Structure 1
Amino acid sequence: MIGALLASGLPAGEAAAAAAFVHARAAAAAAADPGPQDAPTSASRILAHIRTALARL
């Protein structure tokens, strides 16, 4: 994600901060979704929410 943001022209610090923010928002949305709650949230569940998290920036 950081690489894509860098390629879009964001400075390195902003790209890293934005990627961390989007990842955290996507993880929170994935954790709130119904599903197995006794296991850690998987990367695939987080990935499913990345687009929504980016759209809400």
Structure 2
Amino acid sequence: MESQIVHKAAFLLHDCNEPEQVVVERLKEYFPSLSLTERERYVSEAWDQVHGQGVPEA
């Protein structure tokens, strides 16, 4: 489920061009059980992936 959350956050950041704070709020719609702190962490991970940091090696 964790990868699904990061994937959704990356989609919102990259494909929808949403600002980070908007993505944090939108994740609550998709994953209502997540706390604010958890949503912020997932958005941070997704931001790193979208911007080329922390991208897993193939």
Normalised TM-score (structure 1): 0.44
Q: Which has the higher contact order (CA 8 A, sep 6+)?
A: 2
Q: Which has the larger radius of gyration?
A: 1
Normalised TM-score (structure 2): 0.43
